[in-house]
Amino acid sequence: MAIAKAERLMNLALCLMNTRRPLSKKELRESVEAYREAWQQGSEDAFNRMFERDKDDLRELGLVIDVDENALDGEVGYLARRDRNRLPEIALDAEEAAALTLAARVWQQAKMSGAASGALQKLRAAGVPFAEEREHGALEPRIPGREAAFEPLLTAARDRRPVTFEYRKAGAAGAEPRSVEPWALECWRGHWYLAGFDRDRGSARVFRLSRITGKVRSRAGAFTGDVPEHVDVRAVVARFAGEGATAVAMVRIRRGAAYPLRQRALDTRPVDADWDQLDIPYGNGLGADLAEYGPDVIVIGPEDLRADVIDRLRAVAGLAEVAQ
């Protein structure tokens, strides 16, 4: 919604709610600057159309506006009674309060931290119990939001604006440009991911925010791909990470290394004093994950996964030689 229209709607709502008697169109026209300007420019019809649209918009937003046909000597009067437009008392249980606290903590290192803190303070003043008021020493869940790309991507997803950024794929030495229509952001296993439509590849993709380099730039224009009604970011990430896959990869890992892979293992067996052998669910994207661990991981099978990891490591080595 444009700022000018939002301000006009707010002014109209304030006029209708801060009066004890119905107000005529003329009185509202004199009270709201935008209406007065439209009328002074000699367009009574423009004012009437603007007022009717604004009145409908306020009703769609939930404001109850009463119309009195005989309140002003035959003129129609408008009034938004406070008792009919008062929000109900806020009542949250412990689980709902905890969810709000966790959501607010997403912003603890972002520009919205002040607004989030203020909202919690207001709810706390209303008697809503929050995690901070519980016994100290309890484990408190936290969601990290440290990546610089987090806030601009969240704003772009909210406003449905395409973005461009430089993205370094797992196992790649350098970043490459991406043009994306952002759908949703979600935190999974300590990392933030963006799901969206990759314009260059013409299909849905998932991007880990920690691999975005440089600035996220917003672009004008509408989305070109269809936006799904529900975006299950975790399911897409899990699919690319091999979660829920039916195949199993056999991987040797150096002792004391690659703990995230160990957490995903179906079985772990010692090979010798330096290496363990793991059975890991095998799905799309596992090769990129394995390549990140370099010499600490050796793929035993299947052969296509082993070839994928070797190709990735050779590509990185080649780019490093060119850079020298």
- Tell me whether the omega of the peptide bond preceding residue 302 falls within 30 degrees of 0, making it cis: yes
The model's confidence at residue 252, banded by pLDDT at 50, 70 and 90, is: very high
| 299/256: higher pLDDT | 299
Residues 286 and 318 in one domain: yes
Asked if residue 109 belongs to a domain, the reply is yes
**Inside any domain, residue 126:** yes
Residue 145 within a domain: no
Q: Is 194 exposed, middle or buried (0-12, 13-18, 19+ CB in 10 A)?
A: buried
CATH number of the domain that residue 29 is part of: 1.10.10
Residue 23 is given by DSSP the state B
- Look over the chain and give the mean of its residue pLDDT values, rounded to a whole number: 77
State how far the Cα of 252 lies from the Cα of 267, in Å rounded to an integer: 12
In a domain, 208, yes or no: yes
Phi-psi sector, 134: left (phi>0), alpha (psi -120 to 50), beta: beta
pLDDT tens string 99-129? 666 666 655 555 555 555 556 555 555 555 5
pTM of the entire structure? 0.43
Asked if residue 240 belongs to a domain, the reply is: no
Number of folded domains that form the chain: 4
- Note whether residue 235 is domain-resident: no
The domain that holds 180 is classified in CATH as 2.30.30
Q: Which amino acid is residue 137, in one-letter code?
A: G
Confirm whether 276 is domain-assigned. yes
38 closest CA partner among 8, 60, 59, 68: 8
Burial code (b: 16+ CB inside 10 Å, e: under 16) for 217-246 equals eeeeeeeebeeeeebebbebbbbbbbbebe
Tokens in use for 285? Answer: 């994207």
Tokens of 5: 């229209």
Domain residues for the domain of 114 are 94-133
pLDDT per position as a tens digit, 36-91: 887 877 778 888 888 899 999 898 888 899 888 776 677 888 988 888 877 666 66
- The whole-angstrom separation of Cα 5 and Cα 111 is 25
Work out the percent of the chain whose per-residue pLDDT is above 90: 12
The single residue listed with the structure tokens 């195949």 is 247
Is residue 236 situated within a structural domain? no
